[in-house]
Amino acid sequence: MGEPFAVPVTVRGYELDTQGHLNQAVYIQYAEYARWEFLRAAGISQEELLGTGVGPVALETTIRYQRELRGGDEVTVSCAFEWTGGKTFRIVQEILMLDGTPAAQITALCGLLDLRERRLVADPAQRLRVLASSPALLE
């Protein structure tokens, strides 16, 4: 297996809280950005996915803060899907400083929601692999 999928992000001044570090809600936004970029790299666009009648849902999210981030900090946000074989799967992500120092770890329990039935699809891994032009990225 090669390097984990990751996207670069620079912390912007308007994302800071009153203490001058990255607002807690923005960590979730960075994670979401990396997730959609991961799917796009696998060949699945947001429009295409929603067009098939399913959409990703986060059922539980945990953030472990390890180092504060401040305006101008450059980081990478990784993304790896862990398939459980059921209706849910985990997305594990790390926010790392460019020198490799961990800033945060984000773990989310997710599923694919059938937008018409309003229920989780039975095999989200298979559903995504069928749509992907690069399904190996989803392994």
Instruction: Point out the residues that are catalytic.
Output: 17
Separation of alpha carbons 60 and 94, rounded Å: 16
Assess contact for 34 and 78: CB atoms under 8 A: yes
Alpha helices by DSSP H, 9-123:
24-41, 46-51
C-alpha closest to that of 102 among 61, 63, 60, 58: 63
